[in-house]
Structure 1
Amino acid sequence: MGLLGILVALAILIGLAFRGWSVLLLAPAAALVAALFAGEPLLAHWTQTFMASTARFIAQFFPLFLLGALFGKLMEASGSVSVIASWMVTRLGEHRAILAVVLAGALVTYGGVSLFVAFFVLAPMAQELFRSAGIPRRLMPATIVLGTSTFTMSAMPGTPSIQNAIPMPFFGTTPFAAPGLGIIASAIMLAFGLWWLGREAAAAARNGEALGGGMPASIDSLAGNEMLRERATTAREFDPAELGHGVHAKDEPSVPAAALPLIVVVLVNLSMSLFFLPRLDIGFLAQARWGGITLSDVGGVWAVVTALFAAIVTVLALNFRRLPSLRETMDAGANASVLPAVSVASLVGFGAVVAAMPAFEMVRDWVLGIGGGPLVSLAVATNILAALTGSASGGLTIALDALGSTYMARAAEIGLNPELLHRVAVIGSGTLDSLPHNGAVVTLLAVCGSTHRESYRDIVMVGIVGAILALVAVIVIGSVVGSF
């Protein structure tokens, strides 16, 4: 009955979430269903298991949600994202339209700008560029996915994405874990994605395929779509309802001023991770008042938080006089972080209750018994949970909460570098999370004025197949030569 309860709870969570029900209601309800089938105490699991795990996730990662959303909103309101994307598109031109959109998306998201902010900036530019180049509109969503939701989310060393931050407390790693393998994975994702998109564009030109006449949706047209919002906020760290709030600057910054905050994110993150934090005397963290922890438990999060804070200060310093209503814009950025953080934390709470069920031992034994060693089983676990929850961050945290310590113990037994676990876990979470019900996929299709029937096959190829190829390469290379 316990295993049946877990399956019923998952079916309730997935089915109703796909229909637009709030995860804030579904996650505790589904957790209680699992506990009920197992004959476990309901109220104790709600207040002591579910809420304790939810609160722990918020305590660890809410600063990243807050500063990441605030930074993205300031970059959008100041016009910096538009300037960077326009510059990239102008430099490469319509003859390299696909590459221009991909690199523009990669540049802003690797610099810490939220995915949904990038969506709304890139879609209109891609529309005009693709029309001029004679590329079908159906390829727009996949092109944007390749630049914003693949290698810059899970593989590039130092990426400030929440997915790259989640394994750090579990494995004692930094945002730059396994940098060589991350670069190899990024190259595979980028090369495969560009090959596929180029192939499709060439085939469309040979066949005389119509360009398509749909138009990208405006922020205002999607801001009131509550079903879309519920799906989106479990998928990424920005509430799209806040994109229409705040006041935009009337004039745009220069290209150097627009790009400087992104450079600050990368440089400060690198400096904190590799130079400053390891040299600090922080033995005081071992005291009970600080939780009896070490630098490895918090260093990675501290590095990203500091980088985002420095970037926010840079944006404000460069654009203070240009932002007509700074308080309103910053309020919108802060508000954009709350619902995603609590939604993902609720999924984590649900996972904690499921992991506490006696029947979960069967699931754990099955996952750990997958052939190929801990890297393969970790990849399978993160893939499955990200697919089931429709959330890379939620699925990744659930997997590591339940199995992270076990993987660390097994890694120690065989001499496996935790950095390799980190990179495999993050890339694994960013593959099957892009199934049709994923909030980011649904939002992007709506933003581009496209449908699953028109564009989803290409999203699968660049967002799932390319990522799986990169994941396999990292596992094979890492198993042979280790982490580097």
Structure 2
Amino acid sequence: MDVITLSPLAIGLGLFGMLASLALLVGFAYRGWTVLLLAPFAAMLAAAISGEPILAHWTQTFMLSAARFLAQFFPLFLLGALFGKLMEDSGSVKAIASFMTEKLGAHRAILAVVIGGALVTYGGVSLFVAFFVLAPMATALFQAANIPRRLMPAAIALGTSTFTMSALPGTPAIQNAIPMPFFGTTPFAAPGLGIIASIVMVVFGLWWLSLQQARAKAASEGFDGFSKAGKATKPPASDNLVRERASVSQSFDPEEAKRGHISEDLPAFGVAVAPLVLVVLTNFVMNVIVLPRIDADYLGDVRWGETSLAAVGGVWGVCVALTVAIVVLVLLNRRRLPALRETIDAGANASVLPVLSVGSLVGYGAVIAALPAFALVREWVLGIGGGPLVSLAVATNLLAALTGSASGGLTIALDALGSTYLQLAGQYGIDPALLHRVAVISSGTLDSLPHNGAVVTLLAVCGSTHRESYRDIVIVGILGALLALVVVIVLGSLFGSF
């Protein structure tokens, strides 16, 4: 139904239903209610207020869209969580952190934490696994250098949750995979722009943290603040509130982090880092050399869903890369994994709640996009000045902010408007790779609001609070990413994708 044919009352009710359902979803999710129930309930509320068939939307819109997301991305959630857990239990992540501590030392504490976090997350280790290993490393370094504890979360966030998640070409982060089926791109989309964006984020973040370190030193503020009293207490990282928020923002269920057996016998740095290097190299070889040379015309048959290699090749490449890295990791560290079955079970289980939670958010977005009054929202978004790149950035930023999830907000935006932006790209002569990079960087900006699960978990494992540390997270995680996004849009508009 065209929005023009709707009565003003129907349009008003439709818009009110969207806003009311969104307020309910955001409000209760922030309080720790599971989105597995919240998302379908909020979607059905919007449908009911709009006068749409509730059960039809639940089974034919919500569930089909959620199932499509699972069909596309569950292998990445599964393999990514498994790889992260194996890296943790083999002692590889801790070995890398120890190596960075030894080589850079306390006098370069901030840089050591940022590089350590970047190394493990760019190699495919789950964000939450990295948090639990990097926090003790950061604590030891910051305490030795007498740098305020309150700067620890921002330093870890800069290394794990910014450029390695959304900008560096080839990153296996789920956010970098989501646009691939929509735009027919690979994880290495717009590599030059991605590298430039990464440099902007790193330089800006390190400048800010160094500035804060210098100010703290001048004010005689030490590791525990201005006095030993008032030291922040560490909330339990397995708290249900933390778990529910975390599961919609990243691809690892924190509850599974305590299962398995972490090796006390740490591997050598070369052994520890080898699987990470393999992820990047195999991903590159698959997407740049192998897949473009295979004949995949058979994918157009009904049997294979009438798809194309461009739509699935990017996901295939990441899956093969993670699989190869997992096999090599187990072979290199078999004696360090005495409870291998338990570790594998924990890694596999850690993927289930996040993928279902994000899938529920995707189903919610599909119902909202199917409501007749959503045409007004679509027209408003597409009418934002600056062209398709700017409107795509705004739409993705808003949805990531409202859901507190980079992956959820990005998928909702592309489910609703991805095909439209692809058509506009053809009209404006925009390379889909540029759309890919703008969308991914946009998803990793305003998602880091106070209700974001990664923020909540990070503060918990660092023993800090929003009041103490959130401002610095905003500067390095949001402001730095927004600055990089502006640079990418300007350069992409002037010179195209490169």
Normalised by the shorter chain, which TM-score bucket? over 0.9
Q: Which residue is equivalent to 1:352? A: 366
- The secondary structure found in structure 2 opposite 1:372 is coil
1:249 to partner: Cα distance = 2.0
Q: Which residue is equivalent to 1:279? A: 293
Moved over 3 A (4+): 213-218
The answer on whether the counterparts of 1:235 and 1:438 sit within 8 Å (CA) in structure 2 is yes
Letter in 2 for 1:264: L
Alignment of 1:85-164 (within 5 A): 85-164=97-176
Find the aligned partners of 2:393 and 2:334 in 1 and give their Cα distance. 45
Deviations 1:279-332 (A, max 9, x none): 011111111100111110100000001000011001111011221111011000
1:252 to partner: Cα distance = 1.1
Equivalent of 1:343, from 357, 368, 388?
357
**Where does the alignment leave 5 or more consecutive residues of structure 2 unmatched?**
1-12
Q: Which residue is equivalent to 2:447? A: 433
Deviations 1:163-213 (A, max 9, x none): 000000000000000000000000000000000000000000001113216
Deviations 1:139-169 (A, max 9, x none): 0000000000000000000000000000000
Letter in 1 for 2:128: F
Q: Which residue is equivalent to 1:387? A: 401
Letter in 1 for 2:68: R
1:250 to partner: Cα distance = 3.3
Q: Which residue is equivalent to 1:7? A: 19
Q: Which residue is equivalent to 2:29? A: 17
Q: Which residue is equivalent to 1:239? A: 253
Q: Is it true that 1:28 corresponds to 2:40 in the alignment? A: yes
Find the aligned partners of 2:345 and 2:57 in 1 and give their Cα distance. 35
- The secondary structure found in structure 2 opposite 1:393 is helix
Deviations 1:78-107 (A, max 9, x none): 000000111012111111110000000000
Equivalent of 1:183, from 171, 195, 201?
195
1:11 to partner: Cα distance = 0.4
Q: Is it true that 1:68 corresponds to 2:80 in the alignment? A: yes
The answer on whether the counterparts of 2:170 and 2:187 sit within 8 Å (CA) in structure 1 is yes
What count of residue pairs does the alignment treat as equivalent? 481
Alignment of 1:186-225 (within 5 A): 186-212=198-224, 214=231, 217=234, 221-223=236-238, 225=239
The answer on whether the counterparts of 1:17 and 1:26 sit within 8 Å (CA) in structure 2 is yes
Q: Is it true that 1:56 corresponds to 2:56 in the alignment? A: no
Find the aligned partners of 1:91 and 1:227 in 2 and give their Cα distance. 37
Deviations 1:342-364 (A, max 9, x none): 00000000000000001111110
When structure 1 is superposed on structure 2, of 331-340 and 82-91 the one drifting more is 82-91
- The secondary structure found in structure 2 opposite 1:70 is helix
1:454 to partner: Cα distance = 0.1
When structure 1 is superposed on structure 2, of 204-213 and 332-341 the one drifting more is 204-213
The answer on whether the counterparts of 1:215 and 1:448 sit within 8 Å (CA) in structure 2 is no
RMSD between aligned residues: 1.0
The answer on whether the counterparts of 2:185 and 2:314 sit within 8 Å (CA) in structure 1 is yes
When structure 1 is superposed on structure 2, of 317-326 and 115-124 the one drifting more is 317-326
Equivalent of 1:415, from 412, 417, 429?
429
Equivalent of 2:488, from 474, 480, 483?
474
Letter in 2 for 1:222: A
The answer on whether the counterparts of 2:249 and 2:454 sit within 8 Å (CA) in structure 1 is yes
The answer on whether the counterparts of 1:127 and 1:215 sit within 8 Å (CA) in structure 2 is no
Letter in 2 for 1:315: L
1:478 to partner: Cα distance = 0.2
Find the aligned partners of 1:320 and 1:280 in 2 and give their Cα distance. 34
The answer on whether the counterparts of 1:124 and 1:216 sit within 8 Å (CA) in structure 2 is no
Q: Is it true that 1:310 corresponds to 2:324 in the alignment? A: yes
When structure 1 is superposed on structure 2, of 107-116 and 130-139 the one drifting more is 130-139
Find the aligned partners of 1:207 and 1:215 in 2 and give their Cα distance. 20
The answer on whether the counterparts of 2:234 and 2:464 sit within 8 Å (CA) in structure 1 is no
1:118 to partner: Cα distance = 0.5
Find the aligned partners of 1:125 and 1:31 in 2 and give their Cα distance. 43
**Where does the alignment leave 5 or more consecutive residues of structure 1 unmatched?**
none
Find the aligned partners of 1:294 and 1:322 in 2 and give their Cα distance. 41
1:222 to partner: Cα distance = 2.2
The answer on whether the counterparts of 1:28 and 1:346 sit within 8 Å (CA) in structure 2 is yes
Letter in 2 for 1:115: L
Q: Which residue is equivalent to 1:84? A: 96
Deviations 1:41-93 (A, max 9, x none): 00000000000000000000000000000000000000000001110121111
Find the aligned partners of 2:15 and 2:232 in 1 and give their Cα distance. 47
Letter in 2 for 1:391: S
Q: Which residue is equivalent to 2:420? A: 406
TM-score by length of 1: 0.98
Find the aligned partners of 1:460 and 1:227 in 2 and give their Cα distance. 22
Alignment of 1:231-270 (within 5 A): 231-270=245-284
Find the aligned partners of 2:77 and 2:430 in 1 and give their Cα distance. 31
Find the aligned partners of 2:249 and 2:424 in 1 and give their Cα distance. 30
- The secondary structure found in structure 1 opposite 2:176 is helix
1:216 to partner: Cα distance = 8.1
Change (3 A) 1:216 1:181: farther
Equivalent of 1:444, from 427, 443, 458?
458
Find the aligned partners of 2:432 and 2:459 in 1 and give their Cα distance. 37
Equivalent of 1:323, from 328, 337, 341?
337
The answer on whether the counterparts of 2:232 and 2:465 sit within 8 Å (CA) in structure 1 is no
Q: Is it true that 1:294 corresponds to 2:308 in the alignment? A: yes
The answer on whether the counterparts of 1:137 and 1:211 sit within 8 Å (CA) in structure 2 is yes
The answer on whether the counterparts of 2:135 and 2:461 sit within 8 Å (CA) in structure 1 is yes
